[in-house]
Chains A and B, each alone.
Chain A
Amino acid sequence: MGLNLKELRRLEAKANELRHITVDTVLHAGSGHIGGAMSVMDIMTILYYRFMRIKKEDPHWQDRDRFILSKGHAGIGFVSILADLGFLEREQLKTFNLTGSDLGIHLDCTKAPGVDASTGSLGHGLSIALGMAQAARQLNKDFITYCVLGDGECNEGSVWEAAMAVSHYNATNLITFVDRNRCMIDGDTEDVMKLEPFAAKWRAFGFDTLEIDGHSFVELNDAIEHALKAEKPVAIICNTIKGCGIDFMAGDFRWHYGAINEELAEKCHASLGKYYQTRLEGKGV
């Protein structure tokens, strides 16, 4: 079922709100992985606010859909969702990165309710997600496991060990996303360690591979609906923009991790406001 206008508006508004919350969290923390948090935000938004079956009051519900943020450094964006859904208190976001806080750069699933796996060391998430997907089959459960990788993360050999196995086990109850923002800490992904032809690699590993605009809810929705019905595992390469929505960060690898003060935070909020309007207008919403 495609997205209707009302649903599209709801998702656009939610993603916008979550981006603003993320800026505030980065401001409180003093710094953070804001670039990658902004690029992955629309993927996480459509999963948590449209597709995933979860119970806010029971984060450990055994039949819940799972979400593995393999690019664990985007945790500062993920906590916006956890707080908005009520897994965390909104006030807790102000403790992000503080000594003794339950919330740090790479989220600890034993401390942050709603986090399905502690990630941070790159190249781990897809294997964990596959273990969950295989466990679902073993336990006769129909939950879906969603896993989001960073593109730079795909330099890790273990990603391809996992990809080979996802295909081998035909894990159709696992949906793989790559946040293809083309930036990593030290530069453009193609300059640091070339990934292209990227989609061809996923296809060669046996995935039904889609390439979409990772900031289009319409395209994300269609891709996920396709993946949920597919007969072989689906990889959705989401072309995104690092620092999406913030004009002075967008597309700049140097904003992988950065510090902001009150003044910059104001600029972020102002830019996000304009970006939101542009998105609504561009999509005729």
Chain B
Amino acid sequence: MAGGISYTSDETTKLSTGEVYAKMLCDLAEQDPRIVTLTADLAKSTKIGAFMERFPERFYNVGIAEQNMFGIAAGMAKCGLIPFTSCFAIFTSCRGLDQIHTDICYQNLNVKMIGSHAGTSFGQAGTTHHSTEDIAIMRSMANLVVIVPADGLETANAVQAAVAHQGPVYLRINRGFDQAVYDSMEYGYEIGKAVQLHDGTDLTIIACGSGVFQAVQAARELASVDGVKARVLNMHTIKPIDREAIMEAVHDTRRIITVEDHTVIGGLGGAVAEVIAEGGMACAFRRLGLQDAFSPIGLHEDLMSHHKIDANGIIETVRELLQLDFEEDDDWTDEV
């Protein structure tokens, strides 16, 4: 079993998130000959070109044909290989969905799908290249694990965990550089286990992907300016979701905000809402993300601000939420 590889921030500081993914996959492929990669004319864009240079005989560029790519990957997985597909998140989740559904997830095959340029991280390319529905789509596929790493080092952890996991995985990463949340890989990454990045009892901000850095920034400012103690959970795995961490947060803080670079329908916010609704404990709740809308064109950071999923947008929502008056006794039964 491949694994046990660890990078520090010094080793990855000059690498974009995609480059960290490619570096980790190359290192894992040295250990595990079953790993092969496929792309649909996106070797350069998704950075998996590095794998092509190191393992040309294990690299397949199928041209601009996503459906075919996922079908081929399924056939390869059936024969014991571990195919990694590298493609934009939007074309993975929309263009290739029938093959992902039927060939990969239904047959529970060991295919790892990297969806890059996720959310609005390729903001200037416009809505055709924004991927703001993929978490919702992929989360609904049975057998599929859905991971949204917060930064480059977490991506390295997630790639390693994806190889160790037997079964299909969707790994959603951004274009370019993510602001660093972690300075090492040693923080106990585990599929399905949220990571607490900031402790607090007044409310909890549950975030994934690029929202995590913003949530931490917001929590720090809220602590220093407002004296508010905000808990921050990095919910890197959307499926299976960490129900325990969510319900603990509801119990301890009674106010929950989710943050994602994705529509609020069916993604992280939807997943958390489902857990809370079934959990039997009421709480104040807000979902930050695209409000049933396509995004305008622009730089990623500008779009995050526009959609109020940057630190300022989160702080604004926190202040609003903290003004809400609601029952805070310890008797939950009357709220079920």
Within 8 A of A (CB), among B60-116: 60, 62-63, 65, 67-81, 83, 98-99, 101-103, 106-108
Closest to A125 in B: B71
Which residues of B sit under 8 angstroms from A145, Cβ to Cβ? Answer: 75
Are B76's CB and A162's CB within 8 A?
no
A131 to B68, CA, bound (A): 9
Q: Is the CB of A124 within 8 A of B71?
A: yes
A129 on interface, CB distance cutoff 8 Å: yes
A-side contacts of B107, CB under 8 Å? 109-110, 117-118
A-side interface size class: 20 to 34
Task: Determine whether the beta carbon of B80 is less than 8 Å from that of A130.
Answer: no
Q: Which residues of B contact A164 (CB under 8 A)?
A: 63, 65, 68
A62 interface hit (Cβ, 8 Å): yes
Given contacts A124-B99, A127-B72, A128-B71, contact A117 B78 (CB under 8 A): yes
Bound complex: CA A117 to CA B74 (Å): 9
Cβ of B311 within 8 Å of any chain A Cβ, yes or no, is: no
Give min CB distance, A150 to chain B, whole Å.
16
Q: How far is the CA of A107 from the CA of B257 in the complex (A)?
A: 44
Assembly CA distance A145 to B71 (angstroms): 14
Bound state CA distance, A117 and B77, in angstroms? 11
A30 shortest CB reach to chain B, Å: 25
Main secondary structure of the interface of A (DSSP, over half): helix
B79 touches A135 (CB 8 A): yes
Given known A127-B68, A128-B71, contact A138–B76 (CB-CB < 8 A): yes
* Nearest CB in chain A to that of B102: its residue: A121
How many angstroms from the CA of A121 to the CA of B99 in the assembled complex? 9
Flag if B79 contacts A117 (CB, 8 Å): no
- Cβ–Cβ contact B65 & A138, under 8 A: no
A127 proximity list for chain B (CB < 8 A): 67-72, 74-75, 99, 103
Whole-angstrom distance from the CB of B34 to the nearest CB of chain A?
Answer: 9
Chain B, 299-322, CB within 8 A of any chain A CB: none
Please indicate the chain B residues that have their CB under 8 angstroms from the CB of A121 in the complex: 98, 101-102
> Given that A118-B106, A120-B102, A165-B63 are contacting pairs, would A138 and B74 also be in contact in the complex, using a CB cutoff of 8 Å?
no
Q: How far is the CA of A121 from the CA of B79 in the complex (A)?
A: 21
How far is A157 from B107 in the complex, measured between Cα atoms in Å? 22
Interface residue? B23 (CB, 8 A): no
Q: How many A-B residue pairs have CB under 8 A?
A: 107
B286 at the interface (CB under 8 A from A): no
Take A117-B75, A130-B75 as given contacts and tell me if A138 and B63 are in contact as well, using a CB distance cutoff of 8 Å. no
Please indicate the chain A residues that have their CB under 8 angstroms from the CB of B73 in the complex.
131
Contact A138 B67 (CB under 8 A): no
Q: Is A134 an interface residue (CB 8 A)?
A: yes
* CA distance in complex: A239, B15 (Å): 56
Q: Please report the C-alpha to C-alpha distance between residue A157 and residue B72 in the assembled complex, in whole angstroms.
A: 15
Q: Judge if A31 is at the interface, Cβ distance under 8 Å.
A: no
Question: What is the CA–CA distance of A141 and B81 in the complex, to the nearest angstrom?
Answer: 13
Q: Which residues of A contact B69 (CB under 8 A)?
A: 127
Tell yes or no: A161 within 8 A of B by CB.
Answer: yes
Closest-by-CB residue of B relative to A72 is B102
Residue of B nearest to A123 (CB): B67
Smallest beta-carbon distance B331→chain A, Å: 45
B129 at the interface (CB under 8 A from A): no
Give the 6 A-B residue pairs with the shortest CB-CB distance, closest first.
Answer: A131-B75, A127-B71, A135-B79, A161-B68, A131-B72, A161-B65
**A residues lining the B interface (CB < 8 Å):** 62, 108-110, 116-121, 123-124, 126-136, 138-139, 141, 145, 157-158, 161-162, 164-165, 168
- Knowing that A117-B103, A127-B68 touch, tell me 19 more A-B residue pairs with CB under 8 angstroms: A109-B107, A117-B75, A118-B102, A124-B71, A124-B99, A127-B71, A128-B78, A131-B71, A131-B73, A134-B60, A135-B81, A136-B79, A139-B81, A141-B79, A161-B67, A162-B71, A164-B63, A165-B63, A165-B65
Cross-chain pairs A/B with CB under 8 angstroms, 17 sampled: A117-B74, A117-B78, A117-B103, A118-B102, A123-B67, A124-B98, A124-B103, A127-B68, A128-B75, A129-B75, A132-B75, A135-B75, A135-B76, A135-B80, A145-B75, A157-B67, A162-B72
